[in-house]
Structure 1
Amino acid sequence: MIVARTIDELRETINGSCVTIGNFDGVHMGHQRLMARTCAKARKRGLISVVVTFDPHPMTVLMGQQKTPPFITSTAQRLRFIERQGPNVTLVLEFTRQMAALEPVDFVRRYLVEGLALRELVIGYDYAMGKGRKGNFELLSTLGQELGFGVERLDPVIVGGAVVSSTRIRDLIQSGNVWDARPLLGRFFEVEGEVVDGMKRGASKLGFPTANLRLSGTLLPKPGVYAVWAEVDGELYQAMANVGVNPTFGDTGLTLEAHILDFDRNIYGRQVSLQFVQRLRSERKFESIEALKARIADDVRLGRVILSTADAQPGSDPSGDEDK
């Protein structure tokens, strides 16, 4: 997949495209259906399949960082998950207030028709673009007739009787229901970060060495203990993760740390991703370090059982109750 950051990088390389466009936070099942349809139509018509997305997220620019909810995926994650869907090109446009002020016809003409030689546009059921979100399906269809491209609007994806959306997924994760978020995402919810020095208590005091992840603006599940898969250098390992403040030790800052099972390598400075499978319990203050150690041992035993089940394997089908 080619990743471009400006339209100028693609002007000489695309002579006809099928495009889908959106923020795609989470690259969830609804987004995946859009991309699958875009790639299928492109193949059928001999066009280049293109995903157009934005960085930073428009909400950050229009509402400000403080009022913007944490995103399900970082830009790097989003691009990796988009690549799995098979498009030829992803165009990541810098979103600015100037872009937000563009009339839909100006955006479509400049970026899609002139920049990408648009022939087919695939959009979601509620998609709208441009100033005042005036670029809805009806207006885009009219522009398509004038400028020479077709527009297809897909119905929403329904899972568990409700529409799949980034907001619904975010709510599930923040309430700790990571297992229930999986059918909506089509995979386990994933967080990644660099392994940094922590308080160095895991191995010395508890007998369970932990990898502490440095995070920045990342959506985290509700504080508690989770069974997770840890990916290190492309290899997956069973692990336990704690999201919280370590109340037994009187800490106050929210941290994410993982005990990777049957693993003894030094990974300081490495990027590690955690795939959250199941929440085991809430974080709580124990009366002693010995009591905490005993509970962690119980958590590890339960985590091994959960992660050994067929449904908890990475890549197993999570979409059993998809309605549409």
Structure 2
Amino acid sequence: MELIEGIEKIGQPYKDAVITIGNFDGVHIGHQALFHEVIERADALGGTSVAMTFEPHPIRVLKQNGYPPMITLYEQKVELITRSGIDVLICVPFTPEFAAVTAREFVEDILIKRIGVRAIVVGRDYSFGKNREGSIELLRTYSKELGFDLIVADWIQKPGNGADRISSTRIREFVTDGDVEQAQKLLGRYYQIRGVVETGRNRGGKLLGFPTANINLHDELAPKTGVYAVTVEFQGKKYKGVANIGYSPTFDDHIYTVEVHILDFNDNIYGQKIRVNFTERLRDEKKFSGISELSEQIKRDIIKAREILSL
């Protein structure tokens, strides 16, 4: 996949470009369906499949506070869109100046003249341009006037429940509630956090007998406090593990931490970046009477995690 960071870096219009445009936070299965539609349409034309996204998320420029945490930060979003098979990803730096571009300027000057768009694939709630003045109906008018096809895709419904459509908002709610299994169904993959392993408080291995990787979290959205069965990706390999998110109430630290005990693993990975995929929530965080009781509970957590991760 070709990654273009900035409209000005597009050398020349692409051949018969078919494009979808959005923030794609989470790159969930609804987004993936849009990418699939774009790729199919581009293949039929012998053209180029294109996705356009924005960094930072427009809400962070247009609204000074109160915006939600991102499900996928930029690095992961690019990786996931790459995996979809799209030919070109255009990432537009979202600035107040770009926000002032009118709907017509966006379609005519950027999409048609600069990118070479022949067809646009969007969801039913798509809006664009200065003050979100561009609607599906306006886009339909432009398509007739400027000579491109408009495909308005149906919303993808939540698996097993046709009443709910898949949305980034719903996924955030599931993750925040600790329901990582439901989040997985909407994402099409396990929810993942990333971070660098840092020096902890030196008690996982010494006191409890279970060394942990303490993560300096990069992601904005962490699952609800508690204990989870996870897999850990490190240097191209995947390991089973148990993660604890929370405040270590047994020790009365009141310090928020993300700690992972990686099963059957003894390497020194301080300063290294790892990825943690959340498979299932095992239990709430709990205050135990002491080290011995906590250690016994961790043993039970590990047994349960092994069972879950072996299925």
2 CA distance for matches of 1:138 and 1:262?
57
How is 1:208-247 mapped onto 2 (pairs within 5 angstroms)?
208-216=210-218, 218-247=220-249
2 CA distance for matches of 1:307 and 1:125?
38
2 CA distance for matches of 1:210 and 1:111?
50
1 CA distance for matches of 2:24 and 2:102?
22
The one-letter amino acid of 2:237's match is E
**What secondary structure does 1:268 align onto?**
coil
Partner of 1:177: 179
The one-letter amino acid of 1:47's match is G
Residue 101 of structure 1: how far off its partner (Å): 2.1
Which structure 2 residue ranges, 5 or more long, are not aligned? none
**What secondary structure does 2:302 align onto?**
helix
Partner of 2:40: 40
2 CA distance for matches of 1:75 and 1:164?
21
1 CA distance for matches of 2:285 and 2:63?
33
> TM-score normalized by structure 2?
0.96
Alignment check: 8 A CA contact 2:212 2:260 kept? yes
Partner of 1:318: none
Deviations 1:48-69 (A, max 9, x none): 11110000001111112x4111
2 CA distance for matches of 1:247 and 1:150?
58
CA RMSD of aligned residues (A): 1.1
Partner of 2:71: 72
2 CA distance for matches of 1:127 and 1:21?
9
Q: Sequence identity of aligned pairs in percent?
A: 43
Q: 2:188 aligns with which of 186, 189, 205?
A: 186
**What secondary structure does 1:68 align onto?**
coil
Which structure 1 residue ranges, 5 or more long, are not aligned? 310-324
The one-letter amino acid of 1:22's match is G
1 CA distance for matches of 2:219 and 2:266?
29
Partner of 1:29: 29
Alignment check: 8 A CA contact 1:3 1:91 kept? yes
Residue 270 of structure 1: how far off its partner (Å): 1.3
How is 1:155-166 mapped onto 2 (pairs within 5 angstroms)?
155-159=154-158, 160-161=161-162, 162-166=164-168
Partner of 1:106: 105
Partner of 1:289: 291
**What secondary structure does 2:85 align onto?**
coil
How many residues matched? 308
Alignment check: 8 A CA contact 1:16 1:116 kept? no
2 CA distance for matches of 1:117 and 1:11?
11
Shift >4 Å, 4+ stretches: none
Partner of 1:56: 56
Residue 9 of structure 1: how far off its partner (Å): 2.1
